[in-house]
Amino acid sequence: MRKQQEELFNLINKAEEKHNLLKDEIVELLNFSDEQLFFVADKIRKIYKGNKVHLRALIEFTNICKNNCFYCGLRCDNKKLERYRLNFEEILKCTKRAVNAGYKTIVLQGGEDVFFDADKICRLIKEIKTFDVALTLSIGERTYDEYKAFKKAGADRYLMRIETTDRKLYKSLHPNMSFENRLQCLYNLKELGYETGTGCLAGLPNQTTDSLAEDIIFFKNLNADMVGIGPFIPHPETPLKNAEKDNFDISLKVMAITRLLLPDINIPATTAMESIRENGRIIALQSGANVVMPNMTDVKYRKQYELYPNKICINDSPDKCINCIKSKILSIGREISESKGYRND
């Protein structure tokens, strides 16, 4: 036992110094590491990213999706979900509210909704960019030319998780989608100069620590600018409804190791983390994360953006969320950033 403890300390020290680990070493940490991993990830976060937490205003602008991902409550086969799509005015109203509340980044996220063709998205980007904000899109897989047009219209960043790098697992969870295409999309985004965010779900059925280690190596090889790790939370209206529910610890470990290997990137404390663990975002902020994405969606739509059950804040107003998260951040001795929060800020 003592020997193993010593080996783990050595691995964490190696990661801290070299920001590199072999796959087997990552697997070892995923399987056996403890509080020391989180402590060191927090230390590295402090050295590279400082004490400031970046807030990104999340606008969930459509819950309509043509895809059928096995884990997601928005999957097109979930006929019980009441669908919505915000109109331009509503999206701009949310944007104004976020800007007035001091946010410097707007994140437009939605299902893969074909109504929002490239022209409409470009129009939206141009409108949103009239405010002095950074704009992140999270609208799934599009063609190279569409990504190019969005960039030209002013989009700065793009978030698209690879979800899992295990091809077989990916295929089993994403009917009619292609792993190769998702990869290509991420390479295209990088090539086009987006700050590119990716990430994975942790705790999926049949996912191994070996494949999670591959995910972390993928983030490093891609040189991702942001990485978001979500604990997978089973949704009752999906094929994975009976899967394991508590994936907090494994997702926190994936996140902390990602911080050690990519010390200068932006890492959010994800909403899903807090949805399964009280103060989950604060725990994440103290284990390597430096970003929070409070929900700016109108209360009347929040319940319908139900990726998973028991999502936090579904009955809260945007104002309540901003005050709530700010006070939590300040209570742990961190500050709220006033910059746009690019990777190299």
Name the residues that contact ligand FES, by CB under 6 A: 294, 313, 316, 320-321, 324-325
DSSP 207: -
**Contact between 165 and ligand SAM (CB under 6 A)?**
no
In the bound state with ligand SF4, the residue whose beta carbon lies nearer, of 174 and 281, is 174
Selection from ligand SF4, ligand FES, ligand SAM, none that 320 binds (CB < 5 to 8 A by kind) is: ligand FES
In the bound state with ligand FES, the residue whose beta carbon lies nearer, of 204 and 313, is 313
**Contact between 162 and ligand SAM (CB under 6 A)?**
no
Whole-number Å distance between alpha carbons of 57 and 69:
25
Contacts 24+ apart (CB under 8 A), 300-305: 301/60, 301/63, 301/84, 301/86, 302/60, 304/63, 304/81, 304/82, 304/83, 304/84, 305/60, 305/63, 305/74
**Interface of this chain with ligand SAM, residues 83 to 122, rule: CB under 6 A:** 109, 111-112
**Contact between 112 and ligand SF4 (CB under 6 A)?**
yes
**Contact between 235 and ligand SAM (CB under 6 A)?**
yes
Phi and psi at residue 57, to the nearest 5° = -85, 115
**Contact between 293 and ligand SF4 (CB under 6 A)?**
no
Give the closest residue to 227 by CA, choosing from 200, 209, 260. Answer: 200
Compute the least distance from the CB of residue 118 to ligand FES, in Å.
33
Selection from ligand SAM, ligand SF4, ligand FES, none that 12 binds (CB < 5 to 8 A by kind) is: none
Element (H, E) at 53: strand 52-55
**Candidate segments 38-46, 72-80, 181-189, 214-222, binder of ligand SF4 by CB under 6 A:** 72-80
**Interface of this chain with ligand SAM, residues 64 to 83, rule: CB under 6 A:** 71-72, 74
**Interface of this chain with ligand SAM, residues 141 to 160, rule: CB under 6 A:** 160
User: Is the CB of residue 305 less than 8 Å from the CB of residue 74?
Assistant: yes
**Contact between 140 and ligand SAM (CB under 6 A)?**
yes
In the bound state with ligand FES, the residue whose beta carbon lies nearer, of 141 and 316, is 316
Size of the site for ligand SAM (CB under 6 A): 19
Compute the least distance from the CB of residue 308 to ligand SAM, in Å.
4
In the chain, the amino acid numbered 83 is R
Selection from ligand FES, ligand SAM, ligand SF4, none that 57 binds (CB < 5 to 8 A by kind) is: none
**Candidate segments 51-59, 76-84, 206-214, 229-237, binder of ligand SAM by CB under 6 A:** 229-237
Compute the least distance from the CB of residue 332 to ligand FES, in Å.
14
The residue with tokens 């946010």 is 103
**Contact between 65 and ligand SF4 (CB under 6 A)?**
yes
In the bound state with ligand FES, the residue whose beta carbon lies nearer, of 176 and 315, is 315
Burial of 80 (0-12, 13-18, 19+ CB in 10 A): exposed
User: Is the CB of residue 179 less than 8 Å from the CB of residue 167?
Assistant: yes
Residues 6 or more apart from 326 whose CB is under 8 A from it?
55, 336
**Contact between 111 and ligand SF4 (CB under 6 A)?**
yes
Counting DSSP H helices and E strands in the chain, the numbers are 14, 9
Whole-number Å distance between alpha carbons of 270 and 313:
13
Q: Are strands 105-110 and 134-138 parallel, antiparallel or unpaired?
A: parallel
Give the closest residue to 185 by CA, choosing from 232, 211, 146. Answer: 146
Whole-number Å distance between alpha carbons of 182 and 36:
34
DSSP 83: P
In the bound state with ligand SF4, the residue whose beta carbon lies nearer, of 65 and 284, is 65
Which residues are at the interface with ligand SF4 (CB under 6 A)?
65, 67, 69, 72, 74-75, 111-112, 140
Q: Which residues bind ligand SAM (CB under 6 A)?
A: 71-72, 74, 109, 111-112, 138, 140, 160-161, 163, 201, 230, 232-233, 235, 272, 307-308
